[in-house]
């Protein structure tokens, strides 16, 4: 059996190196699709960027898939790269191409048309899906029919989520036509959930600017922290007296005690103040000083003691930080309220727009969400349910100064 992660068990197929690709199959269908984990990482970045660009729904992105196809008793596709094709979004956040967009798509397809000198070529079409149902829209079917006429052409749809891994599915021709019904089978579109393991390096073409985004796209934090070297203390020189004594000992030897005596200095004369009576008042002063210092230290510890968040049943401990062009809302999962929380609801008021996100127990355990704000006035309200009929809620509002907010590129 192929050693790569599979959706279902099947007869042995031509293998790629273990651990480099995910194998997608549907039982009873003569189609095997290998998807490079590196492509999943990079395409995940592009899709999550678009998802965070527009409030509420997120903007869809799309383009062409590159790879190779082997036909025979069983069709085997290998997807290794992609080329994004920008959309003007003249009809809203959906990926519906204008005439200019279609012209750019035709140029990309022409550049990657199969040829003897090309190892990879266009094998299909992809787009993200921020709509309610995972299915091909009428404009998708028209696009695939006119511009992807090859029998082995495929279409990849990826549905992004704010708090969990994206979901994906493939569509391909059956009896010469693409299906128009909703997808019956999906798979998580993220390396971590597919068993690809943490990559040894950041995917090519991906900048280091947003670690939160890379975690959402790959499931891993790829930011490598430089190891801190231990700081060694400066070498301490031996006192001159010790050096002198050792030198004198080495030079004199065991039989010349007079040389050792000459190397050592004369003992200090006895001070006239070493009488016993002087220590009585000094001891009393030190004792009084110790009592005063101890009292002051105890007061400082008492005043600095923070309230125990783990014992407050109504504390969610919401915090908000601005990270690049995003807002990162965090909560303290160590508080008592989160220990038995089964689900939650996050309400977001972004200017005049409102959005509600359902949070599962695994979403709450992550301790935060990333949100791309559209206005400078954003209000969050997190409500969690330790029991079915009881809930705990906490709100947080932020106002961002114009000069402090990074400029956003128009999309």
Check whether 31 has a pLDDT greater than 50: yes
Give the Cα-Cα-Cα angle 403, 406, 408 (nearest 5 degrees). 125
Q: What is the pLDDT of residue 352?
A: 86
More confident residue, 168 or 400: 168
Measured CA to CA, the distance from residue 215 to residue 166 in angstroms comes to: 12
Q: Sorting pLDDT into bands at 50, 70 and 90, what band is 339?
A: confident
CA–CA gap between residue 255 and residue 30 (Å, rounded): 99
CATH topology for 310-399 is: Immunoglobulin-like (2.60.40)
Distances (CA, A) of 267 to 244, 261, 263, 271, 358: 16, 11, 12, 12, 83
Q: What is the CA radius of gyration of the chain?
A: 34
| pLDDT value at residue 19 | 64
**C-alpha dihedral over 210, 212, 215, 221, to 10 degrees?**
80
Higher pLDDT among residues 321 and 267, named by residue: 321
The pLDDT assigned to 13 comes to: 42
How far out from the chain centre does Cα 28 lie?
37
Average pLDDT, the chain: 76
What pLDDT score was predicted for residue 241?
Answer: 38
Q: Is the pLDDT of residue 14 over 50?
A: no
Q: Other CB atoms closer than 10 Å to residue 196's CB: what's the count? A: 23
Top-confidence residue, 103 or 260: 103
Q: Do the bridges between strand 62-70 and strand 31-36 make them parallel or antiparallel, or are there none, so unpaired? A: unpaired
- The C-alpha atoms of residue 397 and residue 386 are separated, in whole angstroms, by 24
Q: Mean pLDDT across the stretch 292-315?
A: 63
**CATH 3.40.140.10 for the 21-218 domain, yes or no:** yes
Q: Report the alpha-carbon distance of residue 348 to residue 317 in Å, rounded.
A: 17
Of residues 144 and 249, the one with the higher pLDDT is: 144
Across 59-68, 100-109, 205-214, 320-329, least confident range: 205-214
Q: Quick count: other Cβ atoms within 10 Å of Cβ 102?
A: 14
Q: Does residue 93 contact residue 57 with C-beta atoms inside 8 Å?
A: yes
Give the pLDDT band of residue 404 (cuts 50, 70, 90): very low
The count of other CB atoms within 10 Å of the CB of residue 117 is: 4
CB environment 67-77: b (16+ within 10 A), e (fewer): bbbeeeeebbb
Report the pLDDT averaged over residues 169-187: 92
Mean pLDDT of 300-312: 55
Q: Is 205 left (phi over 0), alpha (psi -120 to 50) or beta?
A: left
Higher confidence at residue 125 or residue 268? 125
Averaging pLDDT over each range in 83-87, 173-177, 369-373, which range is the top one? 83-87
First to last CA, the chain: 46
Distance CA 181, CA 173 (A): 13
Average pLDDT for residues 61-65, to the nearest whole number?
A: 96
- According to the per-residue pLDDT averaged within each range, which of 83-87, 116-120, 180-184, 284-288 is highest? 83-87
Alpha-carbon gap, residue 74 to 273, rounded angstroms: 104
pLDDT at residue number 12: 38
Which pairing describes strands 75-84 and 31-36: parallel, antiparallel, or unpaired? Answer: parallel
Q: What is the pLDDT at residue 88?
A: 92
Greatest mean pLDDT range, 91-95, 193-197, 351-355, 357-361: 91-95
Least confident segment among 34-43, 239-248, 397-406: 239-248
Torsion angle defined by CA atoms of residues 140, 133, 34 and 70, in that order, rounded to the nearest 10 degrees? -40
Domain ranges of the chain: 21-218, 310-399
Number of H helices, E strands in the chain: 10, 15
Q: What is the largest CA-CA distance in the chain?
A: 114
CB 60 within 8 A of CB 95: yes
Residue 326's pLDDT is 77
What pLDDT score was predicted for residue 297?
76
Extract the tokens encoding 45.
């970045």
How many C-beta atoms surround the C-beta of residue 173 within 10 A?
19
Residue 144 has pLDDT above 90, yes or no: yes
Burial of residue 51 (CB within 10 Å: 0-12, 13-18, 19+) is buried
- The per-residue pLDDT for 1 is 36
From CA 243, how far away is CA 182, in angstroms rounded?
A: 88
Q: How far apart are CA 368 and CA 329, in angstroms?
A: 5
197 pLDDT above the threshold of 70: yes
Of residues 108 and 391, more confidently modeled: 108
């Amino acid at each position: 059996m192929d050693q790569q992660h599979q959706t279902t068990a099947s007869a042995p197929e031509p293998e790629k190196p273990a651990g480099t690709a995910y194998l997608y199959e549907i039982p009873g269908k003569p189609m095997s699709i290998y998807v490079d984990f590196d492509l999943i990482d990079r395409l995940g970045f592009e899709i999550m960027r678009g998802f965070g660009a527009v409030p509420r729904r997120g903007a869809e992105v799309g383009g062409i898939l590159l790879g190779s196809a082997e036909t025979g008793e069983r069709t085997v596709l290998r997807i290794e790269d992609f080329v994004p094709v920008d959309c003007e979004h003249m009809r809203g956040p959906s990926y519906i191409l204008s005439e200019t967009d279609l012209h750019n798509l035709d140029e990309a397809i022409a550049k990657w048309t199969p040829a003897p000198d090309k190892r990879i070529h266009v094998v299909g079409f992809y787009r993200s899906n921020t709509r309610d149902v995972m299915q091909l829209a009428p404009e998708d079917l028209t696009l695939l029919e006119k511009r992807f006429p090859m029998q082995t052409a495929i279409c990849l749809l990826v549905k992004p989520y704010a708090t969990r891994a994206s979901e994906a599915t493939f569509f391909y021709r059956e009896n010469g036509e693409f299906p128009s019904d909703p997808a019956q089978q999906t798979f998580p579109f993220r390396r971590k959930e597919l068993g690809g393991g943490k990559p040894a390096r950041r995917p090519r073409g991906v900048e280091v600017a947003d670690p939160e985004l890379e975690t959402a796209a790959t499931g891993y934090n790829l930011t490598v922290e430089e190891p801190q070297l231990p700081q060694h203390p400066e070498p301490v020189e031996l006192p001159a007296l010790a050096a002198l004594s050792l030198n004198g000992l080495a030079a004199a030897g065991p039989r010349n005690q007079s040389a050792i005596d000459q190397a050592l200095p004369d003992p200090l004369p006895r001070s006239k103040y070493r009488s016993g009576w002087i220590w009585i008042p000094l001891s009393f002063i030190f004792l009084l000083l110790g009592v005063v210092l101890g009292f002051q230290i105890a007061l400082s510890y008492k005043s600095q003691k923070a309230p125990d968040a783990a014992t407050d049943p109504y504390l969610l401990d919401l915090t908000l930080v601005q990270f690049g062009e995003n807002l990162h809302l965090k909560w303290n999962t160590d508080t008592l309220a989160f220990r038995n929380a089964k689900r939650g609801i996050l309400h977001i008021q972004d200017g005049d727009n409102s959005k509600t996100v359902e949070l599962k127990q695994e979403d709450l355990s992550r301790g935060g969400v990333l949100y791309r704000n559209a206005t400078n006035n954003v209000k969050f309200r997190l409500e969690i349910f330790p029991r079915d009929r009881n809930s705990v809620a906490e709100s947080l509002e932020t106002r961002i100064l114009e000069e402090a907010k990074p400029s956003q590129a128009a999309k």
